[in-house]
Amino acid sequence: MTAPRPTNLRTELAGALLRRVAGPDPSAARDAIHLTPGPRWFSADSAIARVHGDASMFIGGIRALLLQSLHPRAMAAVAAHSGYLSDPWGRLQRTATFLASTTFGPASMSEQSVAVVRAVHARISGTTADGEPYAASDPHLITWVHLAEIDSFLIAHQRYGRRPLDAAGCDEYVAQTSRIALALGGADVPTTLAGLRATLGAYRPELRGTPPALATVDFLLRDPPLPRAARIGYAGLASAAVALMPAWTRVELGLPSTPRSHTVGQIGGHVATRGIRWALDAAEPGTPVDTEPAATGSPAAATG
């Protein structure tokens, strides 16, 4: 019988963080993804595994939510149907599990995860406060959500990641993530970094800071659902996410846009990601089948 390992601050922090993003039993969730045999969509040394297995994903995730909120129809669907206000941690855990399953899990698990999301999307439709109809299954909106996510994940990784990608790696990341977006029902999904930038620019006329978007800003930045002790670390992540937002989006969302806020954001991002790595590098990932262990410093890797 193996004696239990003594706990310390590092392992306690790792456990608390993993339970937040992966649920009450993160080891079981991680093992279910890594230890299930079968071929994977992506190899362990691929660009997508490198990005989604890094602590910078915490910053990228916050930026993605802020950026996504600028599309009125997408934001209306989120506000009316996602339950992000009533169950923010549940939504985070579902998102982290989806990212982990499709990035690190066997192909059968990836396909099942996509099928579940598509079934949920098929049930979501409505109209915005301005009378615009929306449907979560709309390929145009699926692509927008995808673009906002991968642009945010990649930008955060290039700024705060442990091993930033080179130009070829960035193109590889965009191409690999397009597979997931197409499986979800997206259309005209870019496969290169230049294509990502161009497609994001094409959405610009549709984007604006609506009241639901501003409510998201308040929720994420001014009154996050965290105990007071955890808000200091979160503030570093959030300020870094804001600093990475395009200048015009800060105007639309009422975000700080000064040289001082940018500097504070950069410092906060570096401190927060290093702290997360320090804690989560102590966690022992499972040994996966048909791939290599992922890093443990991100929401996706926490379950993947």
Which positions ≥6 away from 37 have C-beta within 8 Å? 106, 289, 290
Residue 215 belongs to some domain of the structure: yes
Q: What is the mean pLDDT of residues 219-225?
A: 85
Q: Which residue has the tokens 């600093």?
A: 243
The contacts of residue 135 (CB under 8 Å, 6+ apart) are 77, 121, 124, 125, 141
Domains identified in the chain, total number:
1
The answer for residues whose C-beta is within 8 angstroms of residue 33's C-beta and 6 or more apart is 100, 101, 104, 105, 109, 288, 303, 304
Residue 46 located in a structural domain: yes
pLDDT in tens, 28-57: 777 888 788 999 999 999 999 999 999 999
Phi then psi dihedrals of residue 135, to 5 deg: -145, 130
For residues 248-261, give the mean pLDDT: 91
What pLDDT does residue 292 have?
Answer: 37
pTM exceeding the 0.75 threshold for the entire prediction: yes
Q: Is residue 114 part of a domain?
A: yes
Give the range of the structural domain holding residue 117, as residue numbers without chain letter.
39-303
Read off the tokens for 72.
Answer: 């009125």
Would 23 be classed as within a structural domain? no
Please check whether residue 166 lies inside any domain of the structure.
yes
Quick check: is 3 in a domain? no
Q: Quick check: is 133 in a domain?
A: yes
Q: What is the mean pLDDT of the chain?
A: 86
Please answer whether residues 110 and 102 qualify as being in contact, where contact means their C-beta atoms are separated by less than 8 angstroms: yes
Report if residue 5 sits inside a domain.
Answer: no
| Dihedral sign computed on CA atoms, order 184, 248, 84, 304 | positive
